[in-house]
Amino acid sequence: MWRFRLIRFRLTLTYTLLLAAAFALFSGAIVIGLNNVLYNNFEQSVQQAATKVVKQFKITSVPVGYPDIGVHVNVTAETASGDVNTSKDYQYAFLGANGQPLFDPNGHPVTSSKPADPKVTTNPKTKQAITQALVSQSPQSLTLEGSNGDNGVVVVPIEDQAVLVLQASEQDTEDTVSLLQRTIIMAAAVMTLLSGAGAWFLTGRILRPIDDMSKRVRKITIHDLNERLRIRQHDEIGRLASTFNDMIARLQASFDRQKRFTSDASHELRTPLTVMQADIDLALRRPRSVEEYRETLQSAQEEVTRLSHIVSDLLTLTRLDTDVAFVEHEPVALDDLIDSIVTGMQPLAKDRGILLTHMLEGPATILGDITRLKQLFINLLDNALNYTPLGGHIYVAVETTLDEIRVSISDSGIGIEPEHLPHVFERFYRADQARSRNHEGTGLGLAIAQSSAQAHHGRIEVSSVIGAGSVFTVILPSSGVFAQQAPEMTKQSWFALPALN
């Protein structure tokens, strides 16, 4: 029964049924059309024969006086033979208005070598047709059952008191119609079967690449993602295979990142645990003074705090990636938020000898999560502070347009190598030892910032020049943004950074 669930079977069955229906309609139309043509031709031939018979005879009417007042109709043959078109089975008779045979001048009934069937001439419908023909003076056609089956009958009026009744068997026409019906039905059935077989073969050829794809996909596992679908077709199946290959490549890259992240996370978590274990083991080897125990506990507390930060950041990243409800969508005054963040981080910048300034183009309100947005910009500013040397400067600018809001954070730090730029937002990624020499964070700050921006349907772009600094730009879309520009250009003093070459 599994074959009946195959696409190949369903396609073939659907195609065959549609084709059979089309053949049935087409065949029915042909049969009906030929049937009408054949019977119309038969009726015309019968009428033409009746007209020819009438022309071959001379019909006269003789008045009769008292006591039998009326008219006697005499039929006299003009030709040696009174028959017409003997190749066809025409039978005819001359009848009076009352349906009785006519007589010649000698008083004998007018007959032919093929007299009309009495079953036809005495039929009440024939008598009605005689009356209608004499009244309307026009031929009447009808179909009646005779001794040899159905007959086409024509009643032609002659003078006012006589008619010609001519009949011909419909058997030949019926046989022809029946033969045509059988031929057309058989031809349609054979063509439907052949077409169904062809459809089964063609669908098998068309769907064969899908079977090959299924076999190759079964070989792909989490431990071996190097397999690819080798379909060299420029059609829908080829595009499907290409899409599968792209998906497998993305999965492979995702698994590689996951493995690298797991390895880095394990390393980051193991380092403080190793330090704690070493300190505790050293403290337990022999009795220590109170001050030594205090130092050990303080060191353990620092490492526990570091572990807590790492776990908290990992939880935040996980929720940003998987929990849509984790990010609220409420009106947030972005200009006030940036102003408060910069103001709050001014003391830290001064302690490190760094000038921190900002410029706002006026009020900017967006729909977002103030907690996540605050975390995003704090992480970016903290990253800039960590990698900007003494005497450097950091500049924050907020620009609003009809399409988007751009928040750029520029620093005059050590910069990032071009080959490292695509990876700066990866978790636990560090470009080099020089860039992380003073960095005491968890290595997840930029990853959290990127995830927060994406959760707000935005993105972060980065550009950098070694020795000149870096620029991180947060771009938030216009959807859900209510931007108003004010004439005031600044809230605090600001200056332009040199162009990065």
Q: What mean pLDDT do residues 482-493 have?
A: 36
* Residue 165 and residue 155 in contact, taking contact as beta carbons nearer than 8 Å: yes
pLDDT-based confidence at residue 350 (cuts at 50, 70, 90): very high
1 pLDDT more than 70: no
Question: Is the domain of 26 the same as that of 162?
Answer: yes
Amino acid at 299: S
Task: Specify the length of the chain in residues.
Answer: 501
- Mean pLDDT on 268-295: 81
pLDDT exceeds cutoff 60 at 360: yes
DSSP code, position 102: P
The count of structural domains within the chain is: 3
DSSP calls for 399-431: EE-SSEEEEEEEE-S----GGGGGGTTSTT--S
Residues 347 and 308 in one domain: no
* Spatial separation of the C-alpha atoms in residues 407 and 402, rounded to whole Å: 15
More confident residue, 346 or 480: 346
As a whole-number percent, the residues of the chain with pLDDT over 70 amount to: 78
Tell me, yes or no, if the pTM score tops 0.75.
no
Q: Which of 322, 350, 384 is the last residue of a domain?
A: 322
Least confident of 175-179, 315-319, 380-384, 470-474: 315-319
**Degrees, nearest 5: CA angle 196-199-201:** 110
pLDDT in tens, 201-248: 888 877 777 777 777 777 777 666 777 777 777 777 777 788 888 888
Going by pLDDT thresholds of 50, 70 and 90, the confidence category of residue 431 is low
- Domain boundary among the residues 132, 148, 176 is at 176
Tokens of residue 236, six digits = 């829908």
Helix (H) or strand (E) holding 333: strand 330-333
Indicate whether 287 and 257 sit together in one domain.
Answer: yes
Amino acid at the residue 166: L
Please, is 354 exposed, middle or buried when counting C-beta atoms within 10 Å of its C-beta (0-12, 13-18, 19+)?
Answer: buried
Domain with residue 442: its CATH number is: 3.30.565.10
What CATH number is associated with residue 242?
A: 1.10.287.130
Q: Are residues 141 and 79 in the same domain?
A: yes
How many other β-carbons are positioned within 10 Å of the β-carbon of residue 398?
A: 21
Q: Are residues 257 and 243 in the same domain?
A: yes
Domain range for 295: 236-322
- Ordered alpha helix ranges (H), 62-170: 118-121, 124-136
Asked if 306 and 442 sit in the same domain, the reply is: no
Answer with the one of 142, 160, 176 that is the final residue of a domain: 176
CA 89 to chain centre: 65
- Position 276 scores a pLDDT of 83
Residue 380 pLDDT grade (very low, low, confident, very high; cuts 50, 70, 90)? very high
Q: Are residue 408 and residue 436 in the same domain, yes or no?
A: yes
Q: How distant, in Å, are the alpha carbons of 37, 195, 211, 231, 245 from that of 200?
A: 39, 9, 15, 22, 29
User: What pLDDT was estimated at residue 315?
Assistant: 76
Return the H-helix or E-strand segment holding 156: strand 149-158
Mean pLDDT of the chain: 77
Query: Which of 31 and 218 is assigned the larger pLDDT?
Result: 31
Is residue 29 scored above 50 in pLDDT? Answer: yes
Identify whether 213 is part of a domain: no
CA 128/CA 27 separation, integer angstroms: 38
Higher pLDDT, 482 or 166: 166
Domain match, 41 and 74 both:
yes
Q: Is residue 261 part of a domain?
A: yes
Q: Measuring CA to CA, which residue among 134, 47, 71, 146 is closest to residue 97?
A: 134
Q: What percent of the chain has pLDDT over 90?
A: 10
Out of 112-116, 163-167, 389-393, pick the least confident.
112-116
Higher-pLDDT residue of 146 and 187 is 187
